[in-house]
Amino acid sequence: MKPAASGKLFLRLEHWRSALVQGVLICGFLALTGRAFWLQAIHSDFLQHKGEERYSRILSEPASRGIIRDRNGQPLAISVPSESLWANREDLDMDRQQRQKLAAMLHENANDLSHRLDGESGVVYLKRQLSQQEANRVMALKIPGLFLQHGFHRAYPRSSEMAHLVGFTNADDHGQEGVELAYEARLQGLYGARRVIRDRAGHVIEDVESIRAPRQGEDVWLSVDARVQHLAARELHKAIAASHAKAGAVVVLDSRTGEILALVNSPDYDPNQRIRLSGAELRNRAITDTYEPGSTIKPFTIAAALEAGKVQPDTVISTQGGVLTIGNHRIHDDHVADAYTVTEVIEHSSNVGAARIALGMPPEMMWNLFTDVGFGQKPKSGFPGETGGRLRPFQNWKPIEQATMAFGNGMSVSLIQMARAYTIFANDGVLQPLSLVKGGAHQAGRRVISAKTAREVRAMLETVVSKEGTAPEASVPGYRVAGKTGTAHKVERGHYVNKYVASFIGFAPASAPRLVVAVMVDEPSGGRYYGGQIAAPVFSALTGEVLQLLDVPPDNDVPSTVVGRAMPEDHPT
């Protein structure tokens, strides 16, 4: 800094420094000019979008799920309009009194609500599936920052009767169990979208355009008959209550097509009210649970021997006074007899007779038939959570294992597997695939045994329901009935315990079968636990009503009269 001639000081810069400052300023102005030209002339969409964000919004338009119907069109699951309440924390403004009123309307603790609303920004859902009346009461509080979102929630008109079959959806309307989950892709609709203009408070003041129309979900028609389902649920619950049992299940099939007409479990639940449900209530026992089938497996052992030509229905089998010793193991019958015909082995449910017949053929022969009817494999019913049960390879069978497997020990099955397997006796040897959807692309049945063998076993199964058999209480007035009882010890921690599974699986009318009905009762108590005592009466009451409901003509002119009590099956060893 130097003094001027006038005596004043002045700042003298080097020429290059002033040029640099001017250059920087000019470059800055050019950059701003270029950016402005880019945004306003070339890339004007950016500013337009930012401006529209202040007032324009794209809202989703909900689509309802398809209706689930029974085979006659009765709705089993429907979508009901509802509202979801949400809050934008940035705009939320309410005092303590309003917060308490809101908490009361939402049936929530005020402190819990405050905790959920804590935060500087963001969106939080406060309550889903509000009815229109509840939503109107909430919005009448006129709290800034609270908004409604229109949608749907599922309702189940048949309540607990259809719970395990139909299943349910979650808060986002996505299937979680049963048919709702299995057919999610068909039932779930496609949300639409529309552009709207909102005011500063967030209220829609104008619809601008529809971007995409919502597409409603597709209806699903099940093979199930709601009337048959109701009857099955009623009879099962009566049996559970009368026997003080832990649980139970019933499956009803159309024996000609494999269509599932009813599937019921107990305990059940109300899918409209799912608060504090336990796993036991949610389990679809007929599909996911396995048990040792007991004597209900004997017809398949006999069928394998008949197919191999090892026995005939009147072949005499030595039962050695009701005791068979294999190594260190003993198999016994409750009823002492020196010999039974093959038919009588089924009629009196002889464990010794079934074991001797099984040991008279190669293990592979027995395993092949068990595998052909679906044991050890998932039944492919279309339900989530199917189990295949347990059937070990025949190469590992010891003689005692083959003998006990002949009467249902050492293997496990699901009830729906057993119901399907019995279609070979009702259809002259043809195994029917299971079907849950009405009019679906049904696969053709597959022949497993000859028609001759199937008819011979069917005739044997009719004797089970006679006065001398193990299940006279399964008889149905006016109809010929064929079936088999089962009473099996339960296995806990690898050991048999004094708890039982009672079952009966049969079909009617025996002359031209229309129905296969499988009944299983888990842990009956009170001194009665045989399949002929517990499960057979359920079969009788249910089958009789369903046959009349379907207008199936009687095939038995002789009135059915139950005399005495059922002959008990032998306990598994």
Backbone dihedral region of 389: left (phi > 0), alpha (psi from -120 to 50 degrees) or beta? left
Residues 289-344: pLDDT tens digits? 999 999 999 999 999 999 999 999 999 999 988 899 998 899 989 888 899 999 99
pLDDT, one tens digit per residue, over 346-396 is: 999 999 999 999 999 999 999 999 999 999 999 988 888 899 999 999 998
Decide: 58 and 211 in contact? Cβ < 8 Å.
yes
- On whether the CB atoms of residues 195 and 56 are closer than 8 A, the answer is yes
Sequence-ordered strand ranges (E) for 306-452: 316-318, 323-326, 329-332, 339-341, 430-431, 446-447
Q: From the candidates 295, 350, 412, 503, which is the catalytic residue?
A: 295
Which parts of 349-492 fold into alpha helices (H)?
351-359, 363-372, 399-405, 415-421, 423-426, 451-464
Q: Do the beta carbons of residue 339 and residue 322 sit within 8 Å?
A: no
Residue 295 designated active-site: yes
Q: How many CA atoms lie within 13 A of 58 on its CB side?
A: 8
- Determine whether 35 is exposed, middle or buried from the number of CB atoms within 10 Å of its CB (0-12, 13-18, 19+): exposed
Q: Residue 40 has what DSSP assignment?
A: I
Which CATH superfamily is 226-272+281-549 part of? DD-peptidase/beta-lactamase superfamily (3.40.710.10)
State the Cα–Cα distance between residues 397 and 305, nearest whole angstrom: 17
What is each CA distance from 167 to 102, 162, 419, in whole angstroms? 32, 8, 22
What's CA 55's distance to the chain center, in Å?
46
Domain ranges of the chain: 58-221, 226-272+281-549
Q: Which residue has the higher pLDDT, 134 or 547?
A: 547
Gap between the Cα atoms of 538 and 429, Å rounded: 26
83 within 8 A of 150, measured Cβ to Cβ: yes
Residues whose CB is less than 8 angstroms from the CB of residue 38 and which lie 6 or more positions away in sequence, other chains included: none
Residue 10 has pLDDT above 80, yes or no: no
Give the pLDDT confidence of 199-235 residue by residue, as tens digits: 655 555 555 566 677 788 899 999 999 999 999 999 9
Q: Which of 220, 193, 224 is nearest to 209 (CA)?
A: 193
On whether the 58-221 domain is CATH 3.90.1310.10, my answer is yes
| Predicted pLDDT at 256 | 92
Average pLDDT in the 545-563 region?
A: 78
User: Do the first three CATH levels of 58-221 and 226-272+281-549 match, i.e. the same topology?
Assistant: no
C-beta atoms surrounding 136 within 10 Å: 12
Judge contact between 387 and 283, C-beta under 8 A.
no
**How far is residue 92's CA from residue 113's CA, in Å, rounded to a whole number?**
13
Q: What is the share, in percent, of the chain residues with pLDDT greater than 70? A: 86
Q: Residue 127 contacts by C-beta under 8 Å, 6 or more apart in sequence?
A: 84, 85, 106, 108
